[in-house]
């Protein structure tokens, strides 16, 4: 079979369905209302900007705020206020960059990791609520497929 046969059309249609579903999932996950619900369920009072910055520092830290600003495609000045609030709460800390003593690296503290754990737990509970009437095997199948998809993203990034 050549690359242009019916199998290719089926794969393309399936890929289109996956892309559409991922767009819906992404819109739900990053919608302000969803993020507010997750934060409320976590018991943490935190602005959406603080939540986003804490998550990014946990992913990329220790890191300079200027590097995070580039990754997040925002001006560094927009990260300074939430960084100060997170530092005041003890969720992140600043240390001199060993490569350049004039610069600082931010990283998540133990307290910040505990906060993230509560946020992730609340997020998992929100996702579980959406699948409350699903069969366990269907949830497992989705988890396996998404896990494989996540690995493909990591491999190709």
**pLDDT band with cut points at 50, 70 and 90 for residue 45:** confident
pLDDT of residue 6: 63
**pLDDT band with cut points at 50, 70 and 90 for residue 51:** confident
157, pLDDT greater than 90: no
- DSSP symbol at 47: -
Q: Tell me what the pLDDT averaged over the chain comes to.
A: 92
Both structure tokens of 109: 């503290």
- Average pLDDT, integer, range 113-129: 94
Omega before 50 cis (within 30°)?
no
pLDDT of residue 1: 47
Which contacts qualify for 81-86: CB closer than 8 Å, 24 or more apart?
81/49, 82/47, 82/49, 82/50, 82/52, 82/53, 83/53, 85/47, 85/50, 86/50, 86/53, 86/54, 86/57, 86/112
Residue 37 burial class via C-beta count within 10 angstroms: exposed 0-12, middle 13-18, buried 19 and up? middle
Percent above pLDDT 90 for the chain: 80
- Rounded CA-CA distance 112/74 in Å is 22
- Average pLDDT, integer, range 124-145: 96
pLDDT of residue 49: 86
Rounded to the nearest angstrom, the gap between the alpha carbon of residue 123 and the centroid of all alpha carbons in its chain is 10
pTM over 0.75: yes
- Rounded CA-CA distance 108/155 in Å is 26
38-42, 45-49, 149-153: lowest mean pLDDT where? 45-49
């Amino acid at each position: 079979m050549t690359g242009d046969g019916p199998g290719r059309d089926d794969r393309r249609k399936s890929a289109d369905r996956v892309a559409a579903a991922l767009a819906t999932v992404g819109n739900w996950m990053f919608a302000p209302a969803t993020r507010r619900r997750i934060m409320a369920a976590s018991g943490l009072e935190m602005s959406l900007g603080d939540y986003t910055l804490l998550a990014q520092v946990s992913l990329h830290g220790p890191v300079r705020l200027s590097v995070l600003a580039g990754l997040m495609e925002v001006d560094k000045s927009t990260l300074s206020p939430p960084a100060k609030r997170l530092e005041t709460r003890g969720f992140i800390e600043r240390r001199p960059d060993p490569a350049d003593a004039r610069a600082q690296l931010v990283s998540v503290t133990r307290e910040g990791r505990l906060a993230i754990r509560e946020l992730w737990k609340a997020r998992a509970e929100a996702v579980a609520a959406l699948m409350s009437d699903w069969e366990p095997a269907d949830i497992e199948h989705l988890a396996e497929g998404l896990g494989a998809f996540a690995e493909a993203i990591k491999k190709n990034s």
